[in-house]
Amino acid sequence: MLWLLLLCGALGCGADQAAPLAFTMLQRTRVSKGSSVFWGNASLDGQLSHLLEGFNVTQVLPLEPPDAWARRQQDVATYLVYFGQLVKLFSMERPINYTQMLCCHLGCRLFPDGTAHSFYEVTLNGTAFLSFHVPNATWQRRWPGKDAVATFAE
């Protein structure tokens, strides 16, 4: 999903604006008995730009031409399939007898001077789990204790 941080840059937006341009995404995943259900959204400067329901992603704002958007839709669908397969694998390796709620919140701000600030945060059942530090490309575990999912992720 990290490739989506670059969406604003790929769309050619931000550099000539007076204020920073913000793109944020939220992906929620309900995991139960090895199955995943996805939903979420994305916004550009606070305006809804994309919706995610199951394996379907919809471009609400016409940010990309149809051919580019078709490729992006396929990329997102492929990512979700792979993510779902990872969940199934994890479930087989370490069965968990309760429902998990995973939330990925990411985004970037592009400033008029061409600089950017990006973030990628993951919560599990509402508790900070992982964060990605873009400048040095490292993950930081944020889970405040022992948990099967956190242990497996390490």
CA–CA distance, 17 with 46 (Å, rounded to integer) = 15
CA–CA distance, 57 with 75 (Å, rounded to integer) = 10
> Under a CB-based contact definition with an 8 Å cutoff, are residues 52 and 40 in contact?
yes
In this prediction, residue 2 has a pLDDT band, given cuts at 50, 70 and 90, of very low
Instruction: Show the domains of the chain with their CATH numbers.
Output: 2-153 (3.30.500.10)
CA–CA distance, 33 with 35 (Å, rounded to integer) = 6
In this prediction, residue 52 has a pLDDT band, given cuts at 50, 70 and 90, of very high
pTM for the whole structure: 0.75
Amino acid at 31: V
pLDDT for position 5: 38
pLDDT for position 149: 60
**Mean pLDDT score, 1-28:** 61
Chain-centre distance for alpha carbon 33: 22
Cβ neighbours, 10 Å, residue 93: 9
